[in-house]
Amino acid sequence: SDPEWEAKEELRLRELEEARARAAQMEKTMRWWSDCTANWREKWSKVRTERNKAREDVRLLRGRVDAATKEAAALKRDKQELEAEVDQLRRELDYLRWGLINPLFYFFVDGPSAVLSVFPIPGQNRRRSSECGPRGAAFVDGFFGHPCRVGAPGEAARRGGHQRTPVPEEPEQTDQRTPLLQLRLDEAAKLLLAERQEKNQLAKMLEKQATELGQLKAKYDELRKSRQDTLKELSQVKAEHQDELECIRIDLEDEASGRTCLDKRLTELRAQLVQLQGENAAEWGRRERLETEKLTLERDNKNLRASLQELQECLQRKAQPAGPTSDLRTVQAELQHRTKELLDLKHAHSKLKKVLQEKSTELSHALRRSDQYEMEVKKLRGRIEELKKELATAEDEVDSATNNIRKLQRCNDELQEQVETLQVQLEHLQTR
């Protein structure tokens, strides 16, 4: 029975060590999982800040692109209007030059309005040309005077039929009108110079807008590159996260299988504990029986001692110097038999006493081991409950991390759509 008891005790100790090792491994995995979740939170906070920064940059770039498109459209309109104005002023200047070169030119053309009808204005900007046309015509009419004061060649031609007869001016009138014409020509030159300066300013503004547009395009390219880099990094992080989730899932499955094995071992240990308690009760019963046997043996020993003492007294009274009689021989034989029985009883009593001591020590050891096993089982139960709670919190953190990943993917898709729309708008601006 002793080797079996030692084998069982070694088996229980080995199982207890395995349970402790499994609990330590589970604690290590849970600590590793908490570290992984902390690292993921830090990474996703960085990605979230970068995403918010990229979104803000995209919003600012969109505002700048809209402002640049509006300014470009306004500058384009102003450029077209200025080109129409410059064409009109050129025609008016040509008219003035023809009038200065040949004063008889006014007799063949009905004033500045007829010159404008001879040199038509392009129809791209009717509004600005219509505003500038009457102004230029009024300026030329004021510059040369009304045709009626010069001789009204149109009316004379209409009254006299369809023939135009050139009437030469007088030299005195020509001398009087020359300084006036020179003054008005200087005013026209000043007006043309102001228009040219305004045109130069507008050209500079256009160049400035073009440089700003180039800078915006460069920033947009940088943003697109950074977005591609973030997308690559996000894909790498997602792949790593999937791998880590797979490893964690495998570890959790292993832990679940280990936990089931641990539960099985706990049930086996409980059954063994019940068996040990039964054996303990049996040992206590055996000990009580041995104690009762010991008491009976002690009583028998006392009785035998008393009878031995009586027999010795009888022998002393009946002893004769002549020699032993038959009664004395029988008494001596009985005494030897009784002493032999007494020695056998003493030997058996010592053996039983040793066995009782061994069994009592084994029982005390078994009780201590059972108490230790109960304490270990309680500790393992508490640790298993803590690990279950930590596992539940870890699963909740995994769910929240997956939800955050999905949200970030949706935000990334939205940002990608916004960038594509901005790219289309930029392409439209470039084609314009």
Q: What percent of the chain has pLDDT over 90?
A: 0
Pair 165, 186 in one domain: yes
Is pLDDT at 160 greater than 50 in this prediction? no
pLDDT for position 18: 82
SS3 content of the chain, % helix, strand, coil (to 5): 90, 0, 10
Pair 281, 405 in one domain: yes
C-alpha–C-alpha distance, residues 272 and 183, integer Å: 128
Is pLDDT at 163 greater than 50 in this prediction? no
Pair 270, 392 in one domain: yes
pLDDT for position 220: 74
- Mean pLDDT computed over every residue of the chain: 72
Any domain includes 225: no
How many of the other CB atoms lie within 10 Å of CB of 23?
Answer: 19
CB–CB of 124/144 below 8 Å? no
Cα separation values, 36 from 269, 332, 384, 394, 401, Å = 35, 94, 21, 10, 11
Any domain includes 226: no
User: Band of the pLDDT at 320, cuts 50, 70, 90?
Assistant: low
Q: Look at 103 and 397; give whichever has higher pLDDT.
A: 397
Range of the domain at 9: 2-62+231-431
Pair 367, 402 in one domain: yes
Residues 284-302 pLDDT 10s: 777 788 788 878 888 887 8
Any domain includes 289: yes
Specify the range with the lowest mean pLDDT, choosing from 55-59, 61-65, 238-242: 238-242
Any domain includes 221: no
Counting the structural domains of the chain, the total is 2
Pair 409, 283 in one domain: yes
pLDDT for position 405: 79
Residue at which a domain ends, from 156, 178, 210 = 210
User: Band of the pLDDT at 393, cuts 50, 70, 90?
Assistant: confident
Residues 329-367 pLDDT 10s: 777 787 788 788 888 888 888 888 888 888 888 888 878
User: Band of the pLDDT at 2, cuts 50, 70, 90?
Assistant: low
